[in-house]
Structures are given as structure tokens and as C-alpha cells.
Amino acid sequence: MTMSVLVVDDQPMARERLVSLLKAEPDVAATITAASGSEAVTRIREGSPDLVFLDLQMPELDGFGVIEAIGVDRMPPTVFVTAYDEYAVRAFEVQALDYLLKPFGRPRFQAALQRARRHLERERSGQMAERLAALLRTARPTTAPADRLMVKAGGRVAFVDLDQVLWAEAEGNYVRIHTADAAYLLRETMTTALHKLGERKFFRIHRSRLVNTTEIKEIRIAGGGDYHVVLFNGTRLGLSRLYREALQGRLSASV
């Protein structure tokens, strides 16, 4: 996996040091720089970097202003860089991956970069899973799902009406489906479970979570750029920003 990185800092020496550290990393394919907040906004909109190292204290438009201009949902994964630790709490409120306090050494920088790598791998695997699922949907015959699922429950075989399933989540090599008063395990992948439950009614809101769209009461902002799907029975489920716009589009189309 390679990545492009944007370094934003109004101090030339600080920019040059970060660029030097990044160039020593074999998976950093491109390093872009910005000397101001407004320039950073332009670079992000035009270049869509995979990762941003963002200075918080800059004249005119600071790091938080950059995020507000781009939008939390559209902001690339971000590592904040600053000389003042008083900004740490607010930094993580806007979903910073990590926080580098100046002056920092190579080990601390590499720890932050490794954390960013893990995040990007998770995000990209989620995107790949969605692309593969879309490929399977177009490649296989369009057969309607059965009305009921056959599941194993306590040494017996049970049949669950699809209309009773509220949501489902991955659990190891299984998928756990939830009804209003019980939960059952299916030995299936998420993609197969989605096909069996029916893609007209069920929708992926996370790479490991499906929901019955007819049971969704609302989408609620949870704080820090996170969202929850709230069901009519009060259940709250985390909504990945990767799927939020697609879910809103599905719900709007069904109104």
C-alpha cells in the first residue's frame, strides 16, 4: 500500500523536517506541502491526499478552520501537529488520528504514521469489500431471497421470518442476526448474508454491519463527526462515514 501525504505548516523548517521524515518511508509515494490554511484547503480539494499532517497554529486560517472549510466527512485522515498540548482534546473531537507535540522525535513520528497506516488499511479494505459486493450483485442471477432463514439455535433448527430481522453484524466466521427478542448465528459471510436477507430491504452501514432499512427511525449525529443509525425499537448502531451518503440516498429514494 502506498500513500500520498500533505504536510501543512506555515514554518518552512517544520515543513522540511516532516517532508524529510516522510521521504524515508518506503510506502510514501508522494509528499505535497502547503504553507497556509487556505493553500491546504486548495491542495486537499484538488489532490485528495491519503493523509494530512496539519499544523494547528497558522495565521488567518488555522488547522481547525481547514477542517471546517473541507468538512469533517470529507477531510482526509489527519495527524495534528502543534507546539501546544492544550489543543489535544479539541483535536480528537474532530477525529484526528494522532497528535504530534513539537518538538517530536523520529520514533514518535513513526508511531503516528503507523497508526495512520492501520486506519488507511481498514478504510481501503472496506471500500474493496463494497466494490467486490457490487461486482457480485451484477454478476450473479437476480433471484429473490427466501421468506425465511434457517438458523441453528440451542441444538435445534429454527426458521426466522426475514421481516423480523432488524439488523445483523459480523462475528468471526459467522453473522449474528438480531430480531426484536432474540439473536441467531449464521455461518455466512457478510456478502452472502446480505444476499439472503435481501438487498432491497437490507443495507450495509458498516463493513461488518447490516440493517433493515424499514426499521430505521433516524440518523443521528453522535459527536466528533460520528453518526448513529437509530431503529424504531431504540437500538443505536454505528454508521461508517464510508456508507453514510449511500444510506441517505437509499432512504431518500424510498420516501
30 and 93 housed in the same domain: yes
Other C-beta atoms closer than 10 Å to the C-beta of 102 total 15
Say whether pLDDT at 24 is over 90.
yes
pLDDT, tens only, 158-190:
788 888 999 999 988 789 999 998 888 888 888
Angle of helix 106-139 versus helix 241-254 axis, rounded to 10: 30
Residue type, 115: R
CATH label of the domain that carries residue 33 = 3.40.50.2300
118 and 145 housed in the same domain: no
DSSP state of 25: S
Say whether pLDDT at 49 is over 80.
yes
111 and 190 housed in the same domain: no
d(CA 252, CA 245): 10
Count the alpha carbons within 13 Å of 101 in the hemisphere toward its beta carbon.
6
Characterize 203-218 residue by residue with b for buried, 16 or more Cβ atoms within 10 angstroms of its Cβ, and e for exposed: bbbbbbbbbbbebbee
Picking from 217, 202, 158, 201, the residue whose alpha carbon sits closest to that of residue 182 is: 158
72 and 154 housed in the same domain: no
pLDDT, tens only, 115-131:
888 888 877 766 655 65
pLDDT, tens only, 57-95:
888 888 888 888 888 778 888 898 988 766 655 555 555
Query: What mean pLDDT, rounded, does the chain reach?
Result: 83
pTM recorded for the entire structure: 0.52
What was the pLDDT predicted at 57?
Answer: 85
Say whether pLDDT at 137 is over 60.
no
d(CA 242, CA 206): 8
What was the pLDDT predicted at 190?
Answer: 81
Say whether pLDDT at 55 is over 50.
yes
User: What's the grid cell of residue 191?
Assistant: 456478502
Torsion of CA 228, 229, 230, 231, to 10 degrees: -160
DSSP state of 164: G
Radius of gyration for the alpha carbons in the chain, expressed in angstroms and rounded: 22
Between strands 167-171 and 174-178, the pairing is antiparallel
- Count of structural domains within the chain: 2
Say whether pLDDT at 208 is over 90.
no
pLDDT, tens only, 229-254:
999 999 999 998 778 888 888 888 76
d(CA 122, CA 114): 13
| Structural domain ending residue among the three candidates 83, 98, 133 | 133
Say whether pLDDT at 141 is over 60.
no
113 and 147 housed in the same domain: no
What was the pLDDT predicted at 43?
Answer: 94
Structural domain including 90 reads 3-133
170 and 217 housed in the same domain: yes
User: From start to end of the chain, where are the E strands?
Assistant: 3-8, 28-34, 51-55, 78-82, 98-101, 148-153, 156-161, 167-171, 174-178, 183-186, 202-206, 209-212, 216-223, 226-231, 236-239
Task: Determine the average pLDDT of the residues in 186-208.
Answer: 85
Please confirm whether the linkage preceding 103 is cis (ω < 30° from 0): yes
120 and 162 housed in the same domain: no
What was the pLDDT predicted at 254?
Answer: 67
Confidence of residue 138 (pLDDT cuts 50, 70, 90): low
- With a pLDDT cut of 70, the percent of the chain lying above it is 84
What was the pLDDT predicted at 188?
Answer: 81
